[in-house]
């Protein structure tokens, strides 16, 4: 089969640069930002191969320039350490990355501006509230070194907005499965003394079952941040999307904003995978019986929509020894998640204390 070649140029739906056909990935790949656009090879009436984009990728190209940008003058820089792209007011001098603390910042020039956020969640926690919350959080970390608890770490806390995509979809799913029902039979056996005994043995009776599930996904969140560690970010979710406010440039005045780097196409794939998993789980809950097997789900998606939103975070990145640690605070709910160094002295004392308690218990039991 001859290698497929594009008959026309395709611009990247994320940044606007030219996307090239990648035969190995069977997709259009942007050499500038790395965005992968789903596509498929089709034959023309003359037998020539052409590349056809998926509807979402094609639709993104039709987004007008008026729906892009921040609606205010901004400067963008990329951190060469963590790769986060920070956006801020022109009068602010960005000397260090607010995400990792690196000074390796370089100007970031876009071929095409990012999508304008449709809405955002306003920052609710003040800096003083966040500092107090961090101190309490550190105070409850028993294994943290005492030196860390007395350090002025909260002096480096940063408030910022990070990007998310949200997805809505109505899903109808038909499922089939085998339902298992427990029943018991009496079995005769010989015990160790050669005596005949009886016991109840569990059996399973299998029978086919089927059904359907209808579910609406409302604001399925997909983070589009590179600067915040994903596992920490998940631990401070959810962000209450019912409290979103229509985007206005004034909301971001004085704040650092991260430009999305998880493009819409990649985010849509992540959202679909998460939705598929949840739909399968919902169908599994509908299967009757005591157990089940061979669950098969066929889903139909309709009314799919998306939004680009910004959510508030307070971020603390600090070094201890040769390692760097990050603490994340939800700027609306106050939920905290983070990592911290462990004191080997305290861990050793805890282990010795546990061993001593076990020895004491054994001594008391012996007497």
Instruction: Give per-residue pLDDT as tens, 128-141.
Output: 898 888 888 887 77
Structural domain contains residue 2:
no
pLDDT at 90: 75
Question: Are 58 and 71 found together in one domain?
Answer: no
H/E run at residue 83 = none
Both tokens assigned to 305: 């929509």
Range list of H helices, the chain: 55-61, 127-139, 146-150, 230-236, 264-286, 344-366
SS3 273: helix
Tell me which residues of the chain have a pLDDT lower than 50: 1-7, 40-43, 49-54, 152
End-to-end CA distance of the chain, in Å? 83
pLDDT at 239: 93
Separation between Cα atoms, residue 163 and residue 221, nearest integer Å: 10
pLDDT at 161: 93
On the question of a cis peptide bond just before residue 238, with omega within 30 degrees of 0, the verdict is yes
Instruction: Provide the domain count of the chain.
Output: 2
pLDDT at 278: 96
- Residue given tokens 């598929």 in the structure block: 276
Question: Are 90 and 43 found together in one domain?
Answer: no
pLDDT at 41: 47
pLDDT at 304: 81
Range of the domain at 276: 67-172+211-346
pLDDT at 138: 81
Structural domain contains residue 119:
yes
Question: Are 135 and 268 found together in one domain?
Answer: yes
pLDDT at 51: 42
Range list of H helices, 85-208: 127-139, 146-150
Question: Are 31 and 78 found together in one domain?
Answer: no
Residues in the chain, total: 367
Question: Are 149 and 237 found together in one domain?
Answer: yes
- Supply φ then ψ for residue 213, to 5 degrees: -135, 135
Largest CA distance in the chain: 94
Tell me the pTM: 0.71
pLDDT at 47: 54
Question: Are 255 and 339 found together in one domain?
Answer: yes
């Amino acid at each position: 089969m001859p290698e497929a070649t594009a008959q026309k140029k395709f611009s990247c739906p994320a940044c606007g640069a030219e996307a090239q056909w990648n035969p190995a990935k069977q997709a259009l790949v942007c050499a500038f930002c790395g965005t992968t656009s789903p596509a498929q090879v089709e034959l023309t009436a003359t037998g020539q191969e052409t590349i056809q984009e998926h509807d979402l990728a094609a639709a993104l190209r039709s987004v007008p320039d008026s729906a892009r940008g921040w609606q205010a003058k901004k400067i963008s820089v990329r951190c060469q350490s963590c790769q986060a792209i920070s956006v801020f007011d022109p009068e602010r001098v960005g000397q260090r990355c607010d995400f990792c603390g690196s000074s390796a910042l370089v100007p970031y020039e876009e071929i095409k501006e990012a999508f304008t956020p449709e809405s955002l969640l306003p920052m609710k926690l003040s800096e003083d509230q966040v500092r107090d919350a961090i101190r309490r959080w550190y105070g409850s970390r028993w294994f943290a070194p005492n030196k860390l608890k007395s350090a002025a770490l909260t002096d480096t806390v940063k408030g910022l907005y990070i990007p998310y995509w949200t997805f809505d979809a109505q899903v109808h799913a038909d499922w089939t499965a085998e339902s298992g029902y427990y029943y018991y039979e009496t079995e005769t056996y010989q015990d160790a003394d050669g005596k005949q005994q009886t016991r109840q043995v569990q059996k399973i009776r299998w029978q086919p079952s089927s059904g359907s599930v209808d579910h609406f996904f409302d604001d399925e969140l997909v983070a589009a941040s590179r600067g915040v560690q994903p596992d920490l970010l998940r631990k401070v979710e959810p962000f209450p999307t019912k409290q979103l406010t229509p985007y206005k440039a004034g909301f971001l005045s004085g704040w650092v904003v991260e430009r999305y780097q998880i493009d819409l196409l990649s985010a849509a794939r992540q959202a679909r995978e998460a939705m598929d998993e949840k739909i399968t789980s919902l169908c599994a809950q509908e299967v009757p019986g005591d157990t089940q097997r061979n669950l098969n789900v066929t889903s139909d998606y309709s009314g799919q929509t998306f939004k680009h939103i910004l959510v508030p975070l307070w971020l603390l990145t600090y070094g201890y020894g040769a390692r760097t640690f990050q603490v994340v605070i939800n700027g609306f709910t106050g939920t905290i998640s983070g990592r911290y160094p462990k004191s080997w002295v305290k861990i050793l004392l805890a282990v010795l204390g546990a061993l001593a308690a076990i020895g004491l218990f054994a001594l008391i039991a012996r007497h």
